[in-house]
Structure 1
């Protein structure tokens, strides 16, 4: 019987890979904690502990608490951009609807954290307000782009104002999400079909 070939040793991760993994775990922990306690209740030591690292690792990587919160906000914004790009390949009506359905697909630490940060940004202002304004502008720009594409493809009414409709749609989605956080009886997934049908009636050619 031929000798058994030993299994190859697992590849050791590079320092860059270990750093990226640590940063992602810190961001994920921050999102979870913000959803539970809000931005104002977040401590950097708690983030480090929840991620499985030392209490001082967040300060070591990001410096100040404000700088870290800004990175969290920017990371959430990028996650939404990535999700939007993956929902539907062709711009237009169906891409918009796919994103609406994604927004209403249920509760997650990310969606809860975003709603908490939006609320605290309005009250507290500062750099968080600046970051959440940018987050909101990105979302409105996405919806307006899909509406313009839908008009060009003949799927949507020609008299629509893409920017105004984008504000209305985002307001509807965020309003439902906020109510779902306040009241367990409001379930986004159960409302999804009705909201999608309403948007189709609003926009369809």
Structure 2
């Protein structure tokens, strides 16, 4: 039997993934303000020294966590050409994915909400939201050019409204999952944007 030993790089990557997952769990369970290096180490089954070694400070940990939690809710959308269809599929997929949202995505929504009052988090989430809006603007611009959307649609306004709506639904679902029927709501929200954007 051959025993394959993990390299130092593999051990480091595994430890960092475990620490980031523990940090995400703590954000979900207790909130950002209660996050400490010691608690992250305890949650992950490591010492505080290991957490400090990997991240150096709470701010560095939060920065890495913010980047780690930004994975998309709707895989496969990036393979579609910009336009009305991609926008509608994204809206539908985003709301639908909330039914089985993982700890990293939960932490992302909570960190995003916290960024409004935490200057250390704000720059990253401003940049992240601008990227989100840019994708939506490209869908609207392409949809208008293709003749699938009304010519008077304003891409910037649609992008801000869609981001606000989706993030808001996500936060409501975190607060009270029973009040947000994602299976029904995904169709309602998608149909709303179809009717609002499409040519008559």
Return the TM-score normalized by structure 1: 0.84
Q: Which residue of 1 aligns with 2:62?
A: 69
C-alpha distance in 1, partners of 2:49/2:6? 23
Whether contact under 8 Å (1:89, 1:95) holds in the other structure is: no
**2:48 is the alignment partner of 1:55:** yes
Partner residue, 2:76: 86
Q: Runs of 5+ in structure 1 lacking a partner?
A: 1-6
In the alignment, which residue of structure 1 is the partner of 2:34?
Answer: 41
Corresponding position of 1:155: 148
Output aligned runs, 1:1-205, within 5 Å.
Answer: 9-77=2-70, 79-80=71-72, 86-91=76-81, 92-104=83-95, 105=97, 106=99, 107-123=101-117, 125-183=118-176, 184-205=178-199
Could you tell me which runs of 5 or more consecutive residues in structure 2 were left unpaired when the two chains were aligned. Answer: none
User: Max radius of gyration: which structure?
Assistant: 1
Check 1:49–1:148 CA distance in 2 against 1; reply closer, same or farther (3 A cut). Answer: same
Is the contact made by 2:140 and 2:149 (CA closer than 8 Å) also made in structure 1? yes
Question: What's the TM-score, normalizing by structure 2?
Answer: 0.86
Determine the C-alpha separation between the residues in 2 that align with 1:70 and 1:20: 17
Distance verdict in 2 for CA 1:13–1:28, change over 3 Å: same
RMSD: 2.0
Residues 71 and 202 of structure 1: CA distance in aligned 2, closer, same or farther (over 3 Å):
same
Give distance in 1, aligned partners of 2:147 and 2:69: 33
- Per-residue Cα deviation, 1:116-165 (whole angstroms, up to 9, x for no partner): 21222212x32111222122112111211222222233322222111110
> Aligned pair count?
194
Q: Is residue 18–residue 44 contact of structure 2 (8 Å, CA) maintained in 1?
A: yes
4+ runs deviating over 3 angstroms: none
Decide whether aligned partners of structure 1 residues 52 and 165 sit closer, same or farther in structure 2, where only a CA change above 3 A counts. Answer: same
Report the Cα distance in structure 1 between the residues aligned to 2:126 and 2:78, rounded to whole angstroms. Answer: 25
For the residues of structure 2 that align with 1:112 and 1:15, how far apart are their CA atoms? 31
